[in-house]
Amino acid sequence: MASHHEIGPRIEPFVFYTERRLVVLTGCRARNLSELLDHLRRVSGSSVFYHTHYLYLIHHFEKPRFYNACVTNSCLHFHFFEARLRLGRSTNDFSQWMQAAGETRLAWAIDRLHPYTMTLDELKDKIVRIGRRRLRR
């Protein structure tokens, strides 16, 4: 169904995903700095990501009442933070999709948000405000 707010050329719809955390033990243990550095050279980026973001992740995810809610904080985290690691991109899923839709300025505005200086709820609100400003043009 066409909307009067369509943007850019026809592209695939943006599909919202979320995740449930499954922590997998690597078997790597460091007892000193030398071992830590050796393991850091060998472990995957997702392991480093887990250890550098663990506290952030547990404090910013809410437990949604309805699991079909489109933009939960875990969904936002998946598309904004993990997309870079998961897909080896320098941008997030939202900006990637906007770029494909021909919305270069909108993609750039979302991509330049600094997610580590705000909560996921604040990040979500800023993305929505940026998108609404675009629709009013």
Domain check: are 35 and 56 in the same one?
Answer: yes
Is residue 83 assigned to a domain?
yes
Is residue 53 assigned to a domain?
yes
Distances (CA, A) of 70 to 18, 42, 61, 79, 122: 9, 36, 14, 12, 16
Query: Residues 111-124: what's their mean pLDDT?
Result: 89
pLDDT tens column, 49-91: 777 766 566 554 555 555 555 677 778 888 888 888 777 788 9
Report the pLDDT value the prediction gives residue 1, as an integer from 0 to 100: 45
Query: Residues 105-109: what's their mean pLDDT?
Result: 95
Tell me the pLDDT band of 102, cut-offs 50, 70 and 90.
very high
Report the pLDDT value the prediction gives residue 128, as an integer from 0 to 100: 92
pTM passes above 0.95: no
Domain of residue 48: give its range: 21-60
Task: Find the helix packing angle between 104-111 and 120-136, rounded to 10°.
Answer: 160
**Structure token pair of residue 123:** 């990040």
Do residues 61 and 74 touch, judged by C-beta distance below 8 A? Answer: yes
pLDDT tens column, 10-56: 788 888 876 666 677 788 888 888 888 898 888 887 777 777 766 56
Do residues 76 and 17 touch, judged by C-beta distance below 8 A? Answer: no
Report the pLDDT value the prediction gives residue 2, as an integer from 0 to 100: 46
Domain check: are 76 and 124 in the same one?
Answer: yes
Domain check: are 69 and 55 in the same one?
Answer: no
Percent of the chain with pLDDT over 90: 26
Residue type, 18: T
Report the pLDDT value the prediction gives residue 72, as an integer from 0 to 100: 78
Do residues 84 and 90 touch, judged by C-beta distance below 8 A? Answer: yes
Domain check: are 73 and 51 in the same one?
Answer: no
Helix (H, G, I), strand (E, B) or coil at 12: coil
